[in-house]
Amino acid sequence: MSLYQLEHVEHVYRETTVLKHLNLTITAGEIFALVGPSGAGKSTLLRLMALLEPPSEGKVQIELNGKPLTYHKASITDRRQLGMVFQRPTMLTRSVYANVAFGLHLRGQHGVQSQVKHMLEAVALQHLAQRRVQSLSGGELQRVALARALILQPKVLLLDEPTANLDPYNIGIIENLVRRHHDEDGTTIIIVTHNVFQAKRLADRVGLLLESELIEVADTDTFFNHPQDPRTQAFLSGDLIY
């Protein structure tokens, strides 16, 4: 069953075309990795898929509970099934606890305290619950960002470089957590990453975005071992400097 349908998507900021001729289908329950050099438009594509912006042209549609939804049609209840971790997470100037609890409070949920406690344990941050987020390290901050998205148990989780600049220990925690949510809850994961090894480790399928265009989409094995497009081969062998 196809979850996302993107057809002839084009996105323009003022004069600059950031995405063009983009077609993509995502199946419910898969892990899809989006790779590509800096400035290719990966974050922009993720924002469109999170229904945070409408595309300038074309269609970005997601089917949730049998309803086809777009930026304009999705209600707040629909939107709340999508989770996103931004490339540069913005925190509320409050405690770690308050940041992780925030989304639950928005939804008027009960039992917030024990849910947050469990979540913080899962990202190994329980000892920092009362700390202000401003005093956290980069790795801790990214784990808080992931925790506050995961705790909402989204049907679709969009991750924008969730492990950029992190050490193997933090990368391990984050990857395991993402994989566990995928396996246990059937969460669809779309992850943007600079790290092709990460894509290899996690993804069912991989897409390469190059200069605003989606060059190649293939299952992970094909993508890495038998890429069709010569530009994918060049990207993988590091000939494309980024």
Ligand X SMILES: Nc1ncnc2c1ncn2[C@@H]1O[C@H](COP(=O)(O)OP(=O)(O)OP(=O)(O)O)[C@@H](O)[C@H]1O
Helix or strand or coil: residue 22? strand
Positions in 7-46 near Mg ion (CB under 5 A): 43
**73 binding other proteins? (CB under 8 A):** no
* Cβ contacts of 31 within 8 Å, gap of 6 or more: 182, 188, 189, 190, 191, 202, 203, 204, 205
DSSP code of residue 132: B
- Per-residue x/- track, 24-63, other proteins (CB under 8 A): -----------------------x--x-x-----------
Report the largest interatomic distance among the alpha carbons of the chain, rounded to a whole angstrom.
53
At 148, give phi and psi (nearest 5°).
-75, -20
Nearest distance, CB of residue 30 and other proteins, angstroms: 21
List interacting residues with ligand X (CB under 6 A): 13, 16, 18, 36, 38-44, 87
- Per-residue x/- track, 77-96, Mg ion (CB under 5 A): ----------x---------
Q: Cα(188)–Cα(206) distance, rounded to whole angstroms? A: 14
Nearest distance, CB of residue 113 and other proteins, angstroms: 18
Nearest distance, CB of residue 196 and other proteins, angstroms: 26
Helix or strand or coil: residue 229? coil
207 contact, one of other proteins, Mg ion, ligand X, none, CB 5-8 Å limit per kind: none
